[in-house]
Amino acid sequence: MVSFYVLPRAKEIYAPIAGAIDSIFPTKHAFTMKIDSGISILVHIGTDTVQLERTPFELSANEEDYVKPGDLLGTADFDYIKDKGKGIEVYVVFPELDDSKKLTLIKRG
């Protein structure tokens, strides 16, 4: 498994890579993607945020939508998340990726 997290500077959540939205958790705090190479990605907004249910999250993407890097997927109220004592890190997890596979992410903008 390979993962990283980013600390948000704004409320917007953007697609990290091109692929299809595979599933969205009912609480909207996380979603999975399947990228063009077939690799799955989990994007998890915040730490222990499932307990906040849907309150701080608004996703504009839907399951089966195809997105490109930088497409707006939704927003999160990170001030609300912090006020509730939760972490604001946005995790990107590649559960199927290991040191034998390579994936290149390009930062745009």
Domains in the chain: boundaries: 2-94
CA distance 60 to 34: 18
Q: Give me the mean pLDDT over the 76-100 stretch.
A: 91
d(CA 29, CA 50): 6
Question: Of 63, 65, 17, whose CA–CA distance to 41 is shortest?
Answer: 17
How far are the Cα atoms of 20, 65, 100, 105 from residue 73, in angstroms, in the given order? 12, 10, 30, 18
Q: Which pLDDT tens digit goes with each residue over 15-25? A: 988 999 999 99
pTM comes to 0.86
Catalytic residue set: 44
Q: What is the pLDDT of residue 103?
A: 60
How many percent of the chain have pLDDT more than 70? 90
CATH level 3 topology of 2-94: Glucose Permease (Domain IIA) (2.70.70)
Please count the other Cβ atoms lying within 10 Å of the Cβ belonging to residue 107. Answer: 7
